[in-house]
Structure 1
Amino acid sequence: MEVYAFIGPSGTGKSQRALPLALSYGIRYIIDDGLLIKDGRIVAGVSAKSEISKVKAIRRALFQYDDHRMEIIGRIKKEAPDKILLLATSEEMARKICENLELPYPSKIIYIDEIASLTEIIQAKQEREKGGKHVIPVPLVEVERGFRGKLVGRIKLFFSGGKEEIGEKVIVRPPFSFYGRLSISENVFKGLIRVLVEEHSPYVFVRQVALGFPEEGNIEMELKVEVVYGISMRKLLRGLQFYIKNRLEELTGMVVSKVDIEVVGLITNAGFGRKAQSHGGD
């Protein structure tokens, strides 16, 4: 199987150009925002644009929900396409999608500015920013079955001669564009991480938390901790990493891409008693 990646920032018109681009390369299958599309029809998946929050939409587009991911993997194996066109905002996103769907990395990368003019890209971004409008490259009836946002309009696609229709695209406004912006301060995240550490183990004490936000909806963290002497640190800290990642994703909807934990000190039994008392212990 050969994977083609169509790369461009969000809102630059990738979905609008996906079907003609796929046809030009003889590609029948498209992966776009959580959907597997064949010949302009949805055959598997759930649209990320139907999610009620932007963070969940990002996770949906990356196929990070197990049931969704397995559905797409199973359908791809059943269909056995020779080529797939994958839409992504960056090469890194394309690689993540390939990893999650057990696909080979893209053999060819096509950038939006190779097939759209700067004026067209700017216009698409302005329309996205002003109206919150997104395009799904399938007919209206396909979208109506499971879409939870607002249907705004439709676009007919024709070959350059303008006589033969090659497909239809639907313009939608996702649910998350209906609401105002929701933000969580960095201090709240740090406080939440400290609480999660205390929940998981009474033998680990956080000295410092450093956070990074490499992209929207994604968080990385580095923890410096002290651990009670005599505890099996390797097993304890691996369990703590897993716990923090899963609980933080569950509570905030964000993607936790890295949890680094550095042990900077050991606590003796006497010191443990004092530490436990200062943290509300008996």
Structure 2
Amino acid sequence: MRVVGFIGPSGTGKSHRATWVAKERGIDFIIDDGILIRGNRIVAGRSAKREATKIASVKCALFQSDDHAYDVKRAIELYKPSAMLILGTSEGMVEKIASRLEVGPINEKVFITDVASEFEINQARSTRMQQGKHVIPVPTFEIKKDFSGYFLDPLQIFKRKGKGSYQLVGEKSVVRPTFSYLGKYTISDYTVYQIIEHVVSKIEGVSRISRFRAENHPDGIYIEMDLILIYGYVIRPLLRKVQQDVGEEVEKLTALNIKALNLVAKSLVIDPQKVKSKMEN
């Protein structure tokens, strides 16, 4: 296997340029911050951006956990890549990763200064220091399932086709890990309940929520609800609408991944307004 190391200090824009460097050298596989990427998909590993501290993030990026290293090595054996790009903050780091994953020696080394100007590097450093932003070289939909509770920004890359014309050529993701800014935030179950209660109150055919339970896990939130429905509405389509509207609003407002949203139609009530209308007619 041909192994290329892409080297540069933290925050200088390596992840942003990784796909370009790989494409120029005919490489389809990238190792970046603990994950194995093939094209625009994560195929193995776990992102160091999810770690709670910088030290834990470095350990993850170096594959110091045997289980983590084994997971990626097994994927490499499965896909049998002819070439691989490994990102690291130093020559020693990319060599340690290559050794840990048993992919052989580094055949070529590319430095960030070879592909980015001093101005671009300083701009990337400023963004990292001031805003705590980190780039992951895959589309947002690829990592959203692993970043429940993190606010992710898609970074779309365009290529000029002609005067005033651009073509979308790829997408990366911007994430602000816990260790890169001011602490950790949490969203209480009651806040989630209030959001859901507001959404449900606007859905015609639902009277109220009679029971609510939420469990927040690292991969996302699991929700159970019992609903009191209004007599006269078809139940299955109504519950599907509740799932769809609640799911969209909770994910938009909290960035939490909804792993399960289980609904039970507990009972029916008569809408007094409808009864009054029928009596008047």
Tell me the TM-score normalized by structure 2. 0.61
Post-superposition Cα deviations, 1:180-236, rounded to whole Å, max 9, x if no partner, equal: 6xxxxxxxxxxxxxxxxxxxxxxxxxxxxxxxxxxxxxxxxxxxxxxxxxxxxxxxx
Partner of 1:126: 126
CA deviation after TM superposition for structure 1 residue 68, in Å? 0.6
Give the Cα–Cα distance (whole angstroms) in 2 for the partners of residues 92 and 80 of structure 1: 24
Post-superposition Cα deviations, 1:134-193, rounded to whole Å, max 9, x if no partner, equal: 00000111111112563342211234647443321000000112446xxxxxxxxxxxxx
* 2:141 is the counterpart of 1:141: yes
Give the number of the structure whose alpha-carbon radius of gyration is greater: 2
Partner of 2:175: 172
Q: What is the number of equivalent residue pairs in this alignment?
A: 180
CA deviation after TM superposition for structure 1 residue 20, in Å? 1.4
Which residues of 2 match residues 6-25 of structure 1 at below 5 A? 6-25=6-25
SS class of match (1:10): coil
Give the direction of change, closer, same or farther, for the CA distance of 1:167–1:139 in structure 2 (3 Å limit).
same
Give the Cα–Cα distance (whole angstroms) in 2 for the partners of residues 109 and 148 of structure 1: 35
Which residues of 2 match residues 104-119 of structure 1 at below 5 A? 104-119=104-119
Partner of 2:231: none
Post-superposition Cα deviations, 1:116-149, rounded to whole Å, max 9, x if no partner, equal: 0000000100100001100000011111111256
Give the direction of change, closer, same or farther, for the CA distance of 1:82–1:173 in structure 2 (3 Å limit).
same
Give the Cα–Cα distance (whole angstroms) in 2 for the partners of residues 74 and 117 of structure 1: 37
Give the Cα–Cα distance (whole angstroms) in 1 for the partners of residues 149 and 136 of structure 2: 12
SS class of match (2:155): strand
Give the Cα–Cα distance (whole angstroms) in 2 for the partners of residues 177 and 155 of structure 1: 19
On the 8 A contact 1:40/1:138 being kept in 2, the answer is: yes
Give the direction of change, closer, same or farther, for the CA distance of 1:2–1:16 in structure 2 (3 Å limit).
same
On the 8 A contact 1:138/1:169 being kept in 2, the answer is: yes
Q: Which runs of 4+ in 1 moved over 6 A?
A: none
Identity of aligned residues (%): 46
Partner of 1:94: 94
* 2:4 is the counterpart of 1:4: yes
SS class of match (2:146): coil
Give the direction of change, closer, same or farther, for the CA distance of 1:8–1:148 in structure 2 (3 Å limit).
farther
On the 8 A contact 1:149/1:174 being kept in 2, the answer is: no
Post-superposition Cα deviations, 1:74-98, rounded to whole Å, max 9, x if no partner, equal: 0001000000011000000001001
Give the Cα–Cα distance (whole angstroms) in 2 for the partners of residues 30 and 80 of structure 1: 13
CA deviation after TM superposition for structure 1 residue 103, in Å? 1.2
Gaps of 5+ in 1: 181-282
Partner of 2:220: none
Structure 1 residue identity aligned to 2:39: D
Partner of 2:211: none
Structure 1 residue identity aligned to 2:62: L
Give the Cα–Cα distance (whole angstroms) in 2 for the partners of residues 137 and 53 of structure 1: 21
Tell me the TM-score normalized by structure 1. 0.61
CA deviation after TM superposition for structure 1 residue 24, in Å? 1.1
Give the Cα–Cα distance (whole angstroms) in 2 for the partners of residues 118 and 178 of structure 1: 25
Give the direction of change, closer, same or farther, for the CA distance of 1:158–1:83 in structure 2 (3 Å limit).
farther
On the 8 A contact 1:50/1:149 being kept in 2, the answer is: no
Partner of 2:235: none
Give the Cα–Cα distance (whole angstroms) in 2 for the partners of residues 160 and 89 of structure 1: 31
Give the direction of change, closer, same or farther, for the CA distance of 1:149–1:105 in structure 2 (3 Å limit).
farther
Structure 1 residue identity aligned to 2:53: S
On the 8 A contact 1:95/1:106 being kept in 2, the answer is: yes
Partner of 1:279: none
SS class of match (2:31): strand
Structure 2 residue identity aligned to 1:56: A
Structure 2 residue identity aligned to 1:169: K
SS class of match (1:145): helix
SS class of match (1:150): coil
On the 8 A contact 2:131/2:181 being kept in 1, the answer is: no
On the 8 A contact 1:34/1:48 being kept in 2, the answer is: yes
